[in-house]
Amino acid sequence: MPSTSAGVVPILTIAFVLLLYWTIMFVLTWIHDDEIQKERTIILDAQVKSFTARFEQMEKERSEGTKTHYLPDYHPIKAMVEAHTKQQARVGKAKLFVTIVRRMELLVPLALSFCAHLVLLRWAIDAL
């Protein structure tokens, strides 16, 4: 515990302000990263929907017999749909862990920052 001399208060104030600055920057960076991840997910979902819809249309035409020949992209699109389906099955559990880790990435540093602020505030009060 710091001594109760008046010279300690400015140091504790600086530490308090720096910790507050770090906390604010951490939250802003976390929000920024979250927004980038959302944008990536939107782009990827749009691509998946595009080739999935194309494949479904091809399959519908195939089952109805309305197409007697297929475009050369049928097999690559079918392979992409199958790969995506298999990937979705494999990453089911991982999604839960990603959610847990993502929340801990935010909550643990914020909880530690809050505790550090309380300690610094207590030391500053004791020094006065």
What is the predicted pLDDT for the residue at 6?
67
Q: Each residue of 65-77: pLDDT tens digit?
A: 766 566 778 888 8
| pLDDT one-digit tens code per residue, 34-43 | 999 999 989 9
Rounded Cα–Cα distance for residues 51 and 33 (Å): 28
Contact between 126 and 6 under an 8 Å Cβ cutoff? The reply is no
What's CA 5's distance to the chain center, in Å? Answer: 45
Q: What is the CA radius of gyration of the chain?
A: 27
**Per-residue pLDDT reduced to its tens digit, 38-59:** 999 899 889 889 888 988 888 8
Longest CA–CA span in the chain (Å) reads 91
